[in-house]
Structures are given as C-alpha cells and as structure tokens.
Amino acid sequence: MSILGRLFGKKNDTNKPIQERNMFNLEMNDIVTFDLEDYKVVGKISYDDHGFKWHAYQLEGTHKTIWLSVEMDDELNLGMYEKIKLPLQEPIPKQLEYDGTTYYLDESGTARVIGVGRSQNLSGMTCHYFDYYDDDEEKFLSIEKWGNEIEVSTGYEIEEFELKIIASK
C-alpha cells in the first residue's frame, strides 16, 4: 500500500494486472486504433443463433461511429461496418443494389442478443439478420430487423493486425 493509501485508508489498485485484450473481450472505454484513427468502445452486441455466436462492437471516433464484427467460424473473421440509409421493406430481397454494387443474400437467421454499454437496451431482444456479399466477396451488406425497424450497414473484411487495442483498465 502506498503512503497516501496508508494515510487515507485507500488500497492501491495500480498493482492489479490489466487483462490482455483480444477481439472477444473488449470492454467499454477500451481504445481501438484502426486506419490511423482512435475509436472508443461504447457498445457491444453479442448474438446467438442456436449456439452460433458472434459479436459487434460499437466504436465511436471523432467524426464517425463504426461497428467491428467479430466471429469465429473455423477461423477468426473480422469486418468493419458503417450504417447506411437504404430504404427496405419486407420481404427482404435476395439481391440488392447499393452504390453501384450488386449484393447477393448469403445467409439469414434469427439471433437472441445481449447488449452492453449503449446497446444494453437490446438485451433479451431477437434480431432477424440477413448477410449479403458482392460478386468478389469483398464488400458486405448487413441487414438487421429489430421489431419494425430495419437497419442496414455496409462493410468489408479486415485483418487482426490492422487493429491496435489499448485497455481502459
């Protein structure tokens, strides 16, 4: 215990080791550096579709908010997504056009979710999801239906070495 800790009866928490972060245990207020910009983790959604699980971290930067998708499916799959405005109605089509690119439905399903941080109000909800890829499988579209609300994001695959994580505590 430090001298001030002894004087004021406070324990010194600086000796407590910081848990090393990876793509599956990011915490609120951690900093993720991507493409030369720092983003703060402000939300996390964990999805579970009958035992198949993945996560989406909401990352807030100075000028924009992005989503980091993390999935283990034989190997680590990472994607970076941004919300877009693409008016859609049900039924969700099997093929979509956005910004000059045609996207094709790859998979869809229903997942139960748990939210943390800004996403905590989603805990216990069910999300219907639809994942699309372009011809080259380099660009992605993600559609999530939350009740009557439909959210669309566009994204692309990234590699783990493109991210640097700084633990907040």
pLDDT in tens, 98-108: 999 999 999 99
Question: What is the mean predicted confidence (pLDDT) over 46-51?
Answer: 97
pLDDT at residue 7 tops 50: no
Query: Contact, 68 vs 57, CB < 8 A?
Result: yes
Residue 169 confidence (pLDDT)? 84
pLDDT digits 0-9 by tens, 56-96: 999 999 999 999 999 998 999 999 999 999 999 899 999 99
pTM (predicted TM-score): 0.88
Give residue 15's pLDDT: 60
Q: How far apart are CA 43 and CA 109, in angstroms?
A: 22
